[in-house]
Amino acid sequence: MTNDELPDESINLLERFAGVFDLTYRRFLDLQKAEAQVREAQIETALEKVRSQTMGMQTSEDLSKVAAAMFDQIRMLGGDLFSCGIVLCDENKNEVDQWLSAPDIGMMPPFFVPKNLDFIHQYRYDKWKAGVELFSIEIPENKIAQHFELLFALPSLKNILDSIAAKGLSLPEVPKWEIDYGASFKYGYILISALQPFNEAHIFPRFAKVFEQTYTRFLDLQKAEAQARESQIEAALEKVRGKAMAMHNSADLTDAAGQVFTELNNLGFKPIRCGFVLLSKNSRRAKLYPAASFDYKNIVDKYEEIYLSLIHI
Q: Domain-by-domain residue ranges, the chain?
A: 31-223, 247-310
> Is the distance from CB of 197 to CB of 177 less than 8 angstroms?
no
Topology (CATH level 3) of domain 31-223: Beta-Lactamase (3.30.450)
pLDDT value of residue 85: 83
289: pLDDT strictly greater than 60: yes
CA distances from 109 to 63, 151, 220, 245 (A): 11, 15, 20, 46
Rounded to 10°, the helix 155-166/141-152 angle is 80
Mean pLDDT of 130-149: 93
Q: Distance between CA atoms of 112 and 117, rounded to whole angstroms?
A: 11
Q: Are residues 65 and 52 in contact, defined by beta-carbon separation less than 8 angstroms?
A: no
Burial status of residue 180 (CB atoms within 10 A of its CB: 0-12, 13-18, 19 or more):
buried
CB atoms within 10 A of CB 274: 18
Residue 312: its pLDDT value, please?
43
Type of residue at 211: F
Q: Report CA torsion sign: 91, 97, 100, 106.
A: negative
| Separation CA 102–CA 111 (nearest Å) | 14
Torsion angle, alpha carbons of 144, 152, 84, 129, to 10: -80
pLDDT value at residue 123: 96
H-helix or E-strand spanning residue 264: helix 253-266
First to last CA, the chain: 109
pLDDT one-digit tens code per residue, 207-235: 899 888 888 888 888 888 889 999 999 99
For CA atoms 284, 287, 291, 296, the dihedral sign is positive
Q: What is the pLDDT of residues 9-64, one digit of tens each?
A: 888 888 888 888 888 899 999 999 998 899 889 888 888 888 888 777 777 677 77
